[in-house]
Amino acid sequence: MILIHCPYCDETLPEAEFTYAGEAHVVRPDPSVSDETWRDFLYIRSNPKGPHAERWRHAHGCGRYFNAIRDTVSDRVLTTYKAGESKPVLPGDVK
Amino acid sequence: MADVTIRTLTRAARFSVRCGEADRTAAAEALGVPLIGTIGAIAVAGPRRSLCLGPDEWIVAAPLEDGPAMTAAFAASPAVGSLVEVTNRDVTFAITGPGGEELLAHGCPRDLSKLAPGRGVRTVFDGVSVVLWRFDDRFEMTVWRSYVPFVEALLSAAAREMQAA
Ligand SMILES: [Zn+2]
């Protein structure tokens, strides 16, 4: 089972209390953009092999949405941070 | 064999309270019980008590007959927030005895040894969202009414298994 640190409860808790909510930091473009840009906003995701910024909700807990960096290879959650905070720089990130 | 007893508590007045930091003190004053701003903290004032579930969310329990006065006091208070009475939504089980942690571990993935007496949490019990309060001598687990037959059956099966062990 994945263990996830909820940044609001400040506790590391079992995945069963959380729900996954897709890739984080996907910014909604202005509706006047081209169809291609709108399609990419709706459907195209980065799908990396390695650290992935994603949204989670502590559904059976405090109820908050927050962001996590999860390594898609090891399934390890490297860090979590509150909604609205910017994506943290991890060791090994390309600057 | 770890001893454990499960019983259903009589109905209490229960409220879901949501308000921002600026209104927390006024809301608590109206409800007659402190609302602590730390997730997991329980506050007790006579027969009334509150548990902080989220950054702006509390559950408040009180004797059934206190309910209408609390609703009226909140309505008259300057506190901006929401008070939803959930008295009829909830059923609470009291789980007593040294086997309480082991019993709840049948459905709850949390490490309950880390939940100190005097604290509570919203968590999950075999897929059902529950609110768990821990006191010195017992756990109290609040479940939405429609889940009660399922949760009750699971609790009693687990208790029988523990008895047989
Ligand atoms: Zn949380």
Nearest by CB to residue B39, choosing from A8, A17, A59, is: A8
Q: Which two tokens stand for residue A91?
A: 């060791």
pLDDT higher than 60, residue A95: no
B110 at A interface, C-beta within 8 A: yes
> Looking at domain B89-164, what is its CATH homologous superfamily?
Probable tRNA modification gtpase trme; domain 1 (3.30.1360.120)
Q: Does the structure show a pLDDT above 70 at A55?
A: yes
Cα-to-centroid distance, B122 and ligand 1 (Å): 9
pLDDT digits over A70-83, tens only? Answer: 999 999 999 999 99
Which helix or strand (DSSP H or E) is residue B104 part of? helix B100-104
Rounded CA-CA distance B162/A8 in Å is: 35
Whether the CB-CB separation of A63 and A57 falls below 8 Å is answered with yes
Chain segment A5-27, per-residue pLDDT in tens: 999 999 999 999 999 999 999 99
Which positions in chain A have a beta carbon within 8 angstroms of at least one beta carbon in chain B? Answer: 1, 8-10, 13-14, 16-17, 59-64
- Where exactly are the structural domains of chain B? 12-85, 89-164
Nearest to B44 by CA among B58, B67, B20, B60: B60
pLDDT of residue A79: 96
Residue A92 domain-assigned?
no
Number of domains in chain A: 1
pLDDT digits (tens, 9 = 90+) for A38-54: 999 999 999 999 999 99
What is the pLDDT at residue A93? 72
- Look at residue B148 in the predicted model and tell me its pLDDT: 97
For ion ligand 1, residues whose CB falls within 5 Å: A 6, 8-9, 58, 61-62
- In this prediction the pTM is 0.92
Q: What is the CATH number of the domain that holds A56?
A: 3.30.2270.10
Gap between the Cα atoms of B13 and B30, Å rounded: 15
How many angstroms from the chain centroid is the CA of residue A25? 8
pLDDT value of position A94: 63
Residue A95 in domain = no
| A59 occurs within a structural domain | yes
This complex has an ipTM of 0.90
The verdict on residue A90 lying in a domain is no
Tell me phi and psi for residue B114, to 5 degrees.
Answer: -90, -5
Measured from the Cβ of residue B41, the count of other Cβ atoms closer than 10 Å reads 16
Rg of chain B (C-alpha set): 16
Q: Say which residue, A92 or A20, is predicted with more confidence.
A: A20
pLDDT band at B100 (very low <50, low <70, confident <90, very high): very high
**CA–CA gap between residue A54 and residue A39 (Å, rounded):** 20
Residue A77 host element (H or E): strand A77-82
Chain segment B104-160, per-residue pLDDT in tens: 999 999 999 999 999 999 999 999 999 999 999 999 999 999 999 999 999 999 999
Q: What is the mean pLDDT of residues B77-84?
A: 97
Question: In the CATH hierarchy, which top-level class contains the domain B12-85?
Answer: alpha beta
Over residues B14-42, the pLDDT tens digits come to: 999 999 999 999 999 999 999 999 999 99
pLDDT bucket at B76, cuts 50 / 70 / 90: very high
Amino acid (1-letter code) at residue B43: A
Range of the domain at A28: 3-82
CB pair distance less than 8 Å for B53 and A14:
no
